[in-house]
Structure 1
């Protein structure tokens, strides 16, 4: 191009790489070039339409600082159709051409991104993928590439390989280091574990950890490992032990919470020699399922409900009719819900939905050929009454499944409250009367034993909201105090021995000072007075002071109490952190199983077990 010739603005975005090829600086795409910029202009308009605020065929000079210059309207194919200044040959000082405006996050197009900015965007990308369970291949999707280029043209998206082998492991390593620091500062950790099978028929075991650090609850995924071979107790225990040793928590584990599967219990109790705590939600689920199955008449009504739901789930025509009726009646458009046989709460949700859409459903059923048998008035009455019986159980399950507040200490008061609530309910039908009694019987049989559990009892006692008040009788409350006394005495005794050793060491140092230490006489008397105080008497005073304090408000976090009084009761504070951090259920591990389904569908089935573990871990951070 000769000096002074006009050059299209479009060349701001392209580089020549060969005689007949150019490369887009924004999206790196290779385009053919035949001597004019038409093809390049079309690319900018179609792919990067927001980059320019002036016509892309408006010319600019190659030398912006030249002053007098001749503007010739016949400068070539990239010139405008009219003279810029209305003359063929006019000598004027050239103003600087207007540069295009663009969206930017970290600077202008001609500036390179700083390494720190690239790292921020890389981290945000990995966070988006792990939090939303996006497939790693999203970075190769054309739509996402264009979206990313629009937000920040200077940022080059990593390919799947770099994401999988560099960026994801880098962030995983950083977050692992943070969690390791927290765990190293913690004396006691509880874990939950669950075994599940992916869509690709691979078996995994997930482990989560739970602890309190500086009065804050932590609930983190430790690892999700593939189980190779048979699910024997020994095989499972080897995997769990490797995870615990890797995180250096094997000696810190207070208890391991899981369902009642025989293999997982065998792994924990027989091979790992650790305390096993059954998942309370799982036990509650078994109790309700027992009660529902034992009530034959109620099962008949449930079967009719399932057939109605099944019909609508398999008939698009019927669904559309239901939708139309709801719209005509001014109701929200709601679909039926299918229950899962093994999950009683799904039965509750199914019945609740049927009651909600009852009126629209009744009209719709009259418009359907070969409709399933509908419910009569008495059956609707049974369903509505059964919901009142089942609702408290759902409330209890939800309360016990939390991760950011104490749950184990609420087991006994919730259980007693549930039994009290069910006993008070009046039923108007024989079917619901039988259901109520079945629920009370199965709950007492399966869950009543929990009040005798040592770990649960300690947690209840150390919760300043409950102390001894939540127990069903004085015997169980006194047992809890006895178990706390035993453990507290051991701690006080250990601390006392440490103080004696420290005093002996100090005494030797003081003796070496001779007569210079005028406080040594008093210090010796104080040490002697302390030695006369036994650990048992000290513990008695501590517990009496704790029990005489007013109960903390039920709706408050008990760690607020312990934060305030940890210097008053340091030994009790230590035990409170140990037992109040234990989850009542293995739901945290089961939640990982539920989330994993989003990761192992068709678009993500290429995920290696290693990447799956990293993503599930990062999702919990």
Structure 2
């Protein structure tokens, strides 16, 4: 009779609530429940259909995917109960049989996946990942815009930290591959934005351009062009091209050919009123060949003026050289930098580091000397 008493005791406990909606609701009274998210109260009479509909309509972001039942745990419990029943049976010499359909949840159900596979799926989509195609498309575009606006490398989608961050934001969103971003999404985004700019330029009469030549880490030369124009009484600036220079010789003729090619592509070759660039002889020559007004970069002009002035003052030039030597000592010695920091702490002074000047940034020379005076 011990086995029978054990079975009766288990059955008295009754079935436990297994519906996934109960992760978002709490029973407050016998026939009332409260939503854990919005704190609204609902009637409950043994059926969770109204609770499930509330989650679908009001809190879709809180829904979760289908989960498979933990068969191993169930089997272990059944095996343990069966083993205990056999031991008790042998000691009591009774022939009472314990039903084999008692599981870890104390529910009467056959030991199969059929019930677990019918677990509620609360997404409003039939996709296995829980995202509609529209939602997936929206997230892909937002990712690409972040990469373009913040100048992030396309390889960011392969970084483990970013993948983990994305999974925590939305575990159902699968990041696109780097190849897909490069060959499909980036090209589509460029074409879409290009059409928008070209549409605006059709109603623009005058366009100013800024250009410069730079060299990449792979030792390839590129020319960049940014245009500035007024559309609907608003000022716009758009970087329309970063093009590799085909000829290794950056002569005025080759640069003029590259600029004309870019302007013709955007249908603005007859709308350019001025081009801003540095004071390099080759770029000035290129703009002159295009019969366009050249506007020298003010920052570059100031830089040349200040550097020339400093070079013509021997005493000041000597002071600047000594400052550079002093800063270089601390920049190239970890031990010296640590000693400087310890002395500042000992004297209750602000912990400041030396600043190195850059010749192409004329104000950096002033910043360097001001920092040395503060230290």
Q: TM-score range by the shorter chain?
A: 0.5 to 0.7
Cα drift, residue 151 of structure 1: 2.6
What CA distance in whole angstroms lies between the structure 2 residues aligned with 1:188 and 1:276? 15
Say whether residues 1:259 and 2:304 are aligned partners: no
- State the secondary structure of the residue aligned to 2:360: coil
CA-based RMSD of the aligned residues comes to 3.6
TM-score by length of 2: 0.67
What CA distance in whole angstroms lies between the structure 2 residues aligned with 1:338 and 1:197? 23
**Structure 1 counterpart of 2:301:** 283
**Structure 1 counterpart of 2:211:** 193
What CA distance in whole angstroms lies between the structure 2 residues aligned with 1:250 and 1:275? 13
Cα drift, residue 298 of structure 1: 0.6
What CA distance in whole angstroms lies between the structure 1 residues aligned with 2:283 and 2:149? 29
The answer as to whether partners of 1:209 and 1:220 remain within 8 angstroms in 2 is yes
The answer as to whether partners of 1:57 and 1:80 remain within 8 angstroms in 2 is no
User: Residues 125 and 81 from structure 1, CA distance in 2 versus in 1: closer, same or farther, beyond 3 angstroms?
Assistant: farther
The answer as to whether partners of 1:52 and 1:100 remain within 8 angstroms in 2 is no
- State the secondary structure of the residue aligned to 1:248: coil
- Counting only pairs closer than 5 Å after superposition, residues 460-479 of structure 1 correspond to structure 2 as none
Cα drift, residue 236 of structure 1: 0.6
The structure where helix makes up a greater share of residues is 1
The answer as to whether partners of 2:209 and 2:275 remain within 8 angstroms in 1 is yes
The answer as to whether partners of 1:339 and 1:347 remain within 8 angstroms in 2 is yes
**Structure 2 counterpart of 1:351:** 369
Say whether residues 1:232 and 2:251 are aligned partners: yes
User: Residues 246 and 323 from structure 1, CA distance in 2 versus in 1: closer, same or farther, beyond 3 angstroms?
Assistant: same
- State the secondary structure of the residue aligned to 1:251: coil
State the structure with bigger RCO (CA 8 A, min sep 6), 1 or 2.
1
User: Residues 94 and 254 from structure 1, CA distance in 2 versus in 1: closer, same or farther, beyond 3 angstroms?
Assistant: farther
Cα drift, residue 200 of structure 1: 1.5
Aligned match for 2:192, one of 166, 174, 182: 174
**Structure 2: runs of 5+ lacking an equivalent:** 1-17, 19-62, 86-97, 110-114
- Counting only pairs closer than 5 Å after superposition, residues 143-542 of structure 1 correspond to structure 2 as 143-229=161-247, 230-270=249-289, 272-356=290-374, 358=375
What CA distance in whole angstroms lies between the structure 1 residues aligned with 2:332 and 2:310? 26
Cα drift, residue 128 of structure 1: 2.4
**Structure 1 counterpart of 2:94:** none
Cα drift, residue 141 of structure 1: 2.8
- State the secondary structure of the residue aligned to 1:228: coil
**Structure 1: runs of 5+ lacking an equivalent:** 1-8, 10-50, 61-72, 359-621
What CA distance in whole angstroms lies between the structure 2 residues aligned with 1:240 and 1:172? 20
Cα drift, residue 208 of structure 1: 0.6
Cα drift, residue 161 of structure 1: 1.3
Cα drift, residue 94 of structure 1: 5.4
The answer as to whether partners of 1:205 and 1:227 remain within 8 angstroms in 2 is yes
Cα drift, residue 178 of structure 1: 1.5
Cα drift, residue 121 of structure 1: 1.2
User: Residues 161 and 297 from structure 1, CA distance in 2 versus in 1: closer, same or farther, beyond 3 angstroms?
Assistant: same
TM-score by length of 1: 0.42
Aligned match for 2:137, one of 119, 123, 144: 119
The answer as to whether partners of 1:194 and 1:206 remain within 8 angstroms in 2 is yes
Cα drift, residue 146 of structure 1: 3.3
How many pairs align?
289
What CA distance in whole angstroms lies between the structure 1 residues aligned with 2:236 and 2:303? 26
What CA distance in whole angstroms lies between the structure 2 residues aligned with 1:325 and 1:177? 60
The answer as to whether partners of 1:208 and 1:219 remain within 8 angstroms in 2 is yes
Cα drift, residue 112 of structure 1: 4.0
The answer as to whether partners of 1:194 and 1:205 remain within 8 angstroms in 2 is yes
Cα drift, residue 310 of structure 1: 0.2
- State the secondary structure of the residue aligned to 1:257: strand
User: Residues 207 and 52 from structure 1, CA distance in 2 versus in 1: closer, same or farther, beyond 3 angstroms?
Assistant: closer
Aligned match for 1:139, one of 157, 168, 193: 157
